[in-house]
Chains A and B, each alone.
Chain A
Amino acid sequence: MAEIWFSILALTLVLYAALDGFDFGAGLLHLWVARTDDERRAVLAAIGPFWDGNEVWLLATGGVLFVAFPSVLAVAFPAFYLALFLVLWCLVLRGISIEVRNHLEDSLWAAFFDAVFAGSSSLLGLLFGLALGNVVRGVPIDAKQSFTLAFFTDFLPTGQVGLIDFYTLSVGLLSSAFLAAYGATFLAARTAGSLRARCLVAERTSAFVAAALFVVVTIETQFVRPSLLANMLHRLPGWLGIAVLVVGASLWLRGYRAGEDRRAFTGSSLVAIGILGAAAAGLYPTIIHSTLAPEFDMNAPTSLVAPYGAEVGLVWWLIALVPALLYVVMGFRRNWDRVGRDPASR
């Protein structure tokens, strides 16, 4: 049962990253690829039908934590207090800037909310990368099953660590670079003309940077959390993740070269899913890893709620998953045309 709930936690998180990732990426690039008012409206229109539903996957992830591992939630959330509120405020500002920007004709304030949208998206991309880095590296959780986390301590990933050290920062940069490439791939598939052309350039550049950072982070991980790669390579889901990554990368590359934007986007989604899925396989069964001593780790089997709650939760959760996935498919089917091409909708 713990294995199932851990997989569900990983699934929601991976889906969240793969879905909200492209609209974060679009926000990150917003000011750079879209220059005119029409282009900026096109970027917002491209993510318009998606971003709100995508963010629900973050709440769904929190929900899984609450329903299956409330003790983990109770330990981790207060420890990341300020970082989480930074995330929250960015999410609030981002959502509001999209909404307000959609209703504005005034160029002065449109420019302001474009900047808020781009700034909050960029910061969120970095913060989620830092968070992922913290999960992999571990946190200074002690024998009393509690910890607090400063923003930074000595920038080293051992002992009394902070939120930011050289390892989590490189994961944060990787996350930013990847999301930029991912967002560019999405925008290229949904836009046209000079906007699409700039997206393709951004896609190539940030994909190169992301690939280079990926190599760096993989090597760092081998030192920071040696068990992760070893575990990954000993488990079927780990190999599955790697296979998805390889297939995704080749689809992405071929789609890009052939100018087939949708295929490239599918490939880039698979890359995100593959990397995070493989990482999750390598982390099991640890949810919170201790940088102080391995016996302080919080593991899935010991943190799981009592059997009845876990079983009944699993039943309804799986039932709810069907429509939730259906909405995602429906969203893509209904809104997969290029924006600005359909004069009737203007």
Chain B
Amino acid sequence: MTDPSFWHRLQFSFTIVYHYLFPQLTMGLGVFLVIFKWRALRGNAGYDVATRFWSHLFGINFAFGVVTGFPMEFQFGTNWARFSSYAGGVIGQTLALEGMFAFFLESAFVYALVWGERKLGPRKHFAAAVAVCAGSWLSGYFIIATNAFMQHPIAAYQTGADGRLSLTDFWGLLANPWALAEYAHNMTASVVTASFVVAAVGAFYALKGIHPEQARIFLRTGVGVGLVAAVVVAFPTGDHQAKLVARYQPASLAAMEGRFESGPRASLTFIGQPNVREHRIDNAIHAPMLLSILAYGTPSRSVQGLNDFDPKDWPTNIELLYYSFHVMAGLGTMFIALLALANFARFRGALERWRPLLWVLMLAFPFPYIATTAGWMTAELGRQPWLVYGLFRTADGFSDSVSSGNALFTLIGFCGLYFVLGLLYVFLVLRDIDHGPTQARHGGAAVHG
């Protein structure tokens, strides 16, 4: 805590982790709304009810995403001024692109999606769902492209005489191979989150024995879409992402696996506790050769350990990085197993009736949030000690004119504010779920002209 960047880092990580709880559901649920509305257009009235129910929840979730997103944009300037000054010439592009292309699109149609069903008619309402979904996915791309430049600053920049970066290749920046891989991995993961949420509400109704038609729709669509997405998250997208890390951030891969010694036939650790002082994994359970195979496609390739790198280039929090990666990968594997089982039950016609499975599905929805958070922690802790990998250190990026006292003050403020926000969100969402999907419009809305 004597590190002056500590509070700035803690505040950014707290506010971004909290913020991302909302957009991941926005992006994933956007896909579900398009599916529901599409099927409603094809004449299935039950899906109209489903669209109405979920678009209402979507509206609440979207609003919380918007308000918690504001602080993210500002903090680049307020807390990370030296980084903004250094890299603004490049990342300013992608961040501004998001506002101009994605936020305007989303905000123009979200109101129509949530409140405009009667006014618009079915076709235009479907178009609004597509527009909002597209806007949120576009927004995701620009953020991922920004992050990808920080992870893997490909040759889209040059360093000026004043030491600052400037852009040299706009399309190169947007088509960064890291961004494409990270985007595919991240977006399918957000679909998994939404699948679990949709299925959990369905499971709740099925267990209670209420809203049977909707329970069936939510459960079936949730586990069906969820299985496809969960598989794609692992393979090919997660696999490809890991290979990029192995190739371009070998020190991160070593830390993710808690690997200190280099060598071929590297084993993959399933469980164990990294012991950084002793340079080993305690109580480890390994799969021999699997790490070499996963990282490079052949057991004979050597995987570097941390001892190959200068300790000043080691990720700063190896233990947390190790656990983040293992939590993400472990949960991802369990999602595939659970959803495969649920789909098996679905084809046997038992999905809505097999109560133990329904209990698991109802209670499982927090875990994709944990997995995505752990995934982002893996990406961001793995990038350390760099803010822009290999170019610019995190220790050089924070606003040195802002005192630790000021940074802590705003961090405490965020803790209080976000606690209240969390309560309100849970209250509103539970109220909607309790109210349930109905044919009529939801009550309590404002007078909408």
| A146-B401 in contact given A45-B447, A78-B77, A95-B63 (Cβ < 8 Å) | yes
Report the separation of the CA atoms of residues A125 and B110 in the bound assembly, to the nearest whole angstrom. Answer: 26
Contact B431 A71 (CB under 8 A): no
Are A308 and B449 neighbours in the complex by a CB distance under 8 Å?
no
Interface pair A309/B446, CB less than 8 Å apart: no
9 new A-B contacts, CB < 8 A, other than A89-B413, A309-B92, are A52-B110, A60-B96, A66-B95, A73-B76, A73-B88, A78-B78, A82-B409, A327-B108, A337-B449
B391 within 8 A of A: no
Interface contact B401-A78, CB-CB below 8 Å:
yes
The residue on B at minimum CB distance from A317 is B100
A320 lies within 8 A of B101 (CB): yes
- Shortest B186–chain A CB gap in Å is 21
Interface size range on B against A: 35 or more
| Interface 9-residue window, one of A101-109, A242-250, A251-259 | A101-109
Judge whether A330 is part of the interface by a CB distance below 8 angstroms. Answer: yes
Give Cα A338–Cα B76 distance, bound, in whole angstroms.
41
Chain A CB within 8 A of B228 CB: no
Whole-angstrom CA separation of A85 from B91 in the bound complex: 22
Assess the A70–B89 pair: CB atoms within 8 A. yes
Q: Complex: how many Å from CA A338 to CA B99?
A: 30
Which residues of chain A are within 8 angstroms of B110 by Cβ–Cβ distance?
52
Picked from B97, B108, B164, B448, the residue with its CB within 8 Å of the CB of A48 is B448
A81 touches B78 (CB 8 A): yes
List CB contacts (< 8 Å) of B386-418 with chain A. 399, 401-402, 406, 409-410, 413, 417
CB distance from A8 to the nearest CB of B (A): 11
B283 to chain A, nearest CB (A): 44
Picked from B93, B103, B399, B401, the residue with its CB within 8 Å of the CB of A59 is B103
Q: Would B167 and A312 count as touching, CB distance under 8 A?
A: yes
Contact partners of B406 in chain A: CB under 8 A = 81-82
| 0/1 interface trace, chain A 41-68, chain B, CB 8 Å (1 if under) | 1101110110011011001101111111
CA distance A342 to B447 in the complex (A): 9
Distance A321 CA – B108 CA, assembled complex (angstroms): 14
Assess the B449–A92 pair: CB atoms within 8 A. Answer: no
Min CB–CB distance A38 → chain B (angstroms):
7
- B60 at interface by CB-CB < 8 Å: yes
Closest CB of chain A to B117's CB: distance in Å? 10
Determine which of B70, B166, B410 lies in contact with A309 in the assembled complex, contact meaning CB atoms within 8 Å. B166
B88 touching A62, Cβ below 8 Å: no
Q: Is B105 in the interface zone, CB < 8 Å from A?
A: yes
Q: How far apart sit A313 and B96, CA to CA, in the bound complex (Å)?
A: 9
B82 in contact (CB, < 8 A): yes
CB neighbours (8 Å) of A339 from chain B are 447-449
Contact of A103 among B73, B74, B91, B428 (CB under 8 A): B428
A320 to B100 Cα, complex, angstroms:
6
Q: Which residues of B contact A346 (CB under 8 A)?
A: 447-448
Once A53-B108, A62-B99, A88-B71 are accepted as A-B contacts, the answer to whether A44 and B446 lie under 8 Å apart by CB is: yes
A173-198 toward B: CB 8 Å interface, digit per residue (1/0)? 00000000000000000100000000
Asked whether B81 lies within 8 Å of A77 as measured between CB atoms, the reply is yes
Q: Report A-chain residues with C-beta under 8 Å of the C-beta of B235.
A: none
Complex alpha-carbon distance, A55 and B60, angstroms: 17
B64 CB within 8 Å of chain A: yes
Q: Are B74 and A84 in contact (CB under 8 A)?
A: yes
* In the complex, chain A residues whose CB is within 8 Å of the CB of B85: 70-71, 73-75
Tell me whether B363 is interfacial, beta carbon within 8 Å.
no
Task: Return chain A residues, CB-CB under 8 Å to B168.
Answer: 308
Question: Is B67 in contact with chain A by the CB < 8 A criterion?
Answer: yes
CB neighbours (8 Å) of A317 from chain B are: 96, 100
In the bound complex, CA of A134 to CA of B402 (Å): 19
Secondary structure at the A interface, as helix, strand, loop or mixed, is helix
Closest to A316 in B: B97
Query: Which residues from B are CB-within-8-Å of A68?
Result: 92
Contact between chains at A60 and B100 (CB < 8 Å): yes
Is there a chain B Cβ closer than 8 Å to A235's Cβ?
Answer: no
Q: How far is the CA of A105 from the CA of B99 in the complex (A)?
A: 34
Whether, in the assembled complex, B111 has its beta carbon less than 8 Å from a beta carbon of chain A, the answer is yes
**A143 contacts the other chain (CB 8 A):** no
Residue A100 interfacial (CB < 8 Å): yes
| Distance, CA A84 to CA B167, complexed state (A) | 28
Taking CB atoms, residues of chain A closer than 8 Å to B63 are 52, 95-96, 98-99
Determine the chain A residues whose CB is within 8 A of the CB of B360 once the complex forms: none
CB distance from A227 to the nearest CB of B (A): 27
- If A70-B89, A74-B81, A77-B78 touch, whether A323 touches B105 (CB-CB below 8 Å) is yes
Beta-carbon contact of B60 and A103 below 8 Å = yes
Query: Chain A residues with Cβ under 8 A from B409's Cβ?
Result: 82
B104 contacts chain A at the CB level, 8 A cutoff: yes
Among B71, B79, B81, B118: residue with most chain A CB under 10 A: B81
By the criterion CB–CB under 8 Å, are B447 and A62 in contact? no
Judge whether A309 and B167 touch: CB under 8 Å: yes
Q: How far is the CB of A186 from chain B (nearest CB, A)?
A: 13
User: With A and B bound together, what is the CA distance between A78 and B91 in angstroms?
Assistant: 18
26 contacts across the A-B interface (CB closer than 8 A): A38-B447, A49-B115, A59-B70, A60-B104, A62-B74, A63-B92, A66-B88, A67-B95, A73-B77, A73-B88, A74-B77, A81-B78, A85-B410, A91-B67, A92-B417, A99-B428, A102-B444, A103-B60, A105-B443, A309-B90, A312-B93, A316-B170, A324-B100, A324-B104, A341-B449, A345-B119
Inter-chain contacts of A146 with B (CB < 8 A): 401
The docked-state distance in angstroms from the alpha carbon of A327 to that of B67 is 21
B222-251 interface bits toward A, Cβ cutoff 8 Å, 1 = contact, 0 = none: 000000000000000000000000000000
Q: Of A52, A93, A104, which one neighbours B111 at CB under 8 angstroms?
A: A52
B66, A70: Cβ atoms closer than 8 Å = no
B446 adjacent to A41 (CB under 8 Å):
yes
Q: Which A146-195 residues have C-beta < 8 A from chain B?
A: 146, 148, 190
Q: CB-defined interface of A330-342 with B at 8 Å, one 1/0 digit per residue?
A: 1100110111111
- Contact A306 B70, beta carbon cutoff 8 Å: no
Complex CA gap A62/B406 in Å reads: 22
Query: B356 within 8 Å of A by Cβ?
Result: no
Our pick among A56, A93, A305, A342 for the contact of B89 (Cβ within 8 Å) is A305
Chain B residues within 8 Å of A101, by CB: 446
What's the nearest-Cβ distance from chain A to residue B424, in Å? Answer: 6
Tell me if B421 counts as interface (CB < 8 A to partner A).
yes
Q: Which of B68, B95, B447 contacts A63 (CB 8 A)?
A: B95
Contact A48 B446 (CB under 8 A): yes
**A63 touching B60 by the CB < 8 A rule?**
no
On chain B, the residues within 8 Å of A44 by CB distance are 446
> A95 contacts which chain B residues (CB < 8 A)?
63, 66-67
A213 within 8 A of B: no
Choose among B78, B91, B100 the residue that contacts A84 (Cβ–Cβ < 8 A).
B78
Assess the A74–B82 pair: CB atoms within 8 A: yes
- Nearest Cβ on chain B to A36's Cβ, whole angstroms: 12
Interface string of A121-163 (1 = CB under 8 A from B): 0000000000000000000000000101000000000000000
Q: CB of B445 within 8 A of chain A?
A: yes
Instruction: Output the residue of B91, B421, B449 with the most chain A CB within 10 A.
Output: B449
Query: What is the CB-to-nearest-CB distance from A81 to chain B, in angstroms, rounded to a whole number?
Result: 5
Say if the beta carbon of A76 comes within 8 Å of chain B.
Answer: yes
